[in-house]
Structure 1
Amino acid sequence: MFCASSQRIDQKYLDLAGEVGTELARRGHTLVSGGAVVSCMGAVTHAARRAGGRTIGVMPQVLVDLEIADTDSDELIITADMRERKGIMDARSDAFLVLPGGVGTLEELFEIWTSRVLGLHDKPLVILDPWGLYAPLRQLVDGMYDQGFTRPNVFDAISWTTTVSEALDHLEKPARPLSPHADELGESAAG
């Protein structure tokens, strides 16, 4: 789960995160998140646990020191830095769900999306965006594709959804394997 840890967001985003946490638990999934007690990250984990779900938080020590760690997680993994955090989250996750968030969420999304396009994993990647926060991103990628900067399979690597049930349905489907080919890169294979 990649989502906001900002505390300056509209309540509707916290409610969405809570709905996701509840539905994840109801469907029997374990939640792997960034391990914070604040904002959407906190809302999704609290809701998942209230609904009987298991939660795993992964957080670098520097954020633990800021006292935002979800110490009630069923498992809280403390890492040395953000790179180690992402690696553990990637390894422990069977699928990736992206909720509205900021630049940290975008950074996580781009890394998982890129590695999916390159065929480095075949885990489902889903964006849940009921209010269109990511619409400009989708338009940007459309434009990048039109100009030849992305592979045709960039669109097959991700699912865009607007409801919690639709998002989780996509997460539960096996992802279609993607075939990265050098001739589809839109740039020279040499670099």
Structure 2
Amino acid sequence: MQSICIFLGASCGNDPIYMDAASAMGRELAARGITCVYGGSCTGLMNRLADSALEAGGRVVGVTVQALKDKEEFHRGLSELHVMPTMHARKKLMFDLSEAFIALPGGIGTYEEFFEVYTHRQMGLHSKPCALLNVNGFYSPMELMMRKAAQEGFMKTPHEESILIAETPAEMLDRLLGLPRG
């Protein structure tokens, strides 16, 4: 696997464990020679992910939209920064550049990005892995929601069969790459 798209918050969150997870993910991607594709921000978890990957010698590709770039500061040290005209074009490029998708903790934007690629996978439009990094139990309520949707007949394929869930970046990448845990 050469590139993975990471969806995550532009805020830091209230618990330092989230920043630690973003740092660990950046370092793990760099150590494994995997390009990190993300939203390009220089704030919050997004900034920590990019800084950690870059400091470890990794390649980081940011993808943003002009409307955000006009209002916000974006990371200046990236390997590449793509500025797209619309959110739709942004998400399409992120999809095209990536072989898998991992959501770290974040807000509604993170959920929206993750659920779009997951929905497309459920529809059979792609077979790229979709994964949730369940740091500090952050995604446990979402797991319950999806389990309930399946029990009530609203999801044909249970999420356990189509979403990879792990608690640490190392475990997540080992599972995505098919490496045995030892």
CA distance in 1, matches of 2:12, 2:167: 23
Task: Tell me which residue corresponds to 1:102.
Answer: 107
Q: How many pairs are equivalent?
A: 174
CA contact under 8 A between 2:63 and 2:83: conserved in structure 1?
A: yes
Task: Tell me which residue corresponds to 2:3.
Answer: none
- Asked if 1:83 corresponds to 2:88, the answer is yes
- Asked if 1:114 corresponds to 2:119, the answer is yes
Report the structure, 1 or 2, having the larger strand content. Answer: 2
Task: Tell me which residue corresponds to 2:71.
Answer: 66
CA distance in 2, matches of 1:135, 1:6: 20
CA distance in 2, matches of 1:145, 1:153: 6
- Written as runs of structure 1 = structure 2, the 5 A alignment for 1:132-171 is 132-171=137-176
Task: Show structure 1 runs of 4+ deviating over 3 A.
Answer: none
Give the partner amino acid of 1:73: L
Among residues 9, 18, 27, which one is paired with 1:13 in the alignment? 18
Q: Cα gap change, 1:153/1:143 in structure 2, threshold over 3 Å: closer, same or farther?
A: closer
Give the partner amino acid of 2:88: R
Seq. identity, %: 38
Corresponding residue SS for 1:155: helix
Give the partner amino acid of 2:129: P
5+ residue gaps in structure 1?
Answer: 175-191
- Asked if 1:128 corresponds to 2:151, the answer is no
CA distance in 1, matches of 2:175, 2:39: 22
Corresponding residue SS for 2:121: helix
CA distance in 2, matches of 1:8, 1:99: 11
Q: Which has the higher contact order (CA 8 A, sep 6+)?
A: 2
Which string of whole-angstrom CA distances, capped at 9 and with x for unpartnered residues, describes residues 93-122 of structure 1? 011111011000000111111111111111
CA-based RMSD? 1.5
- Written as runs of structure 1 = structure 2, the 5 A alignment for 1:36-55 is 36-55=41-60
What's the TM-score once normalised by structure 2's chain length? 0.90
- Asked if 1:2 corresponds to 2:35, the answer is no
Q: Cα gap change, 1:135/1:89 in structure 2, threshold over 3 Å: closer, same or farther?
A: same
5+ residue gaps in structure 2?
Answer: 1-5
Which string of whole-angstrom CA distances, capped at 9 and with x for unpartnered residues, describes residues 156-191 of structure 1? 2111111111111122249xxxxxxxxxxxxxxxxx
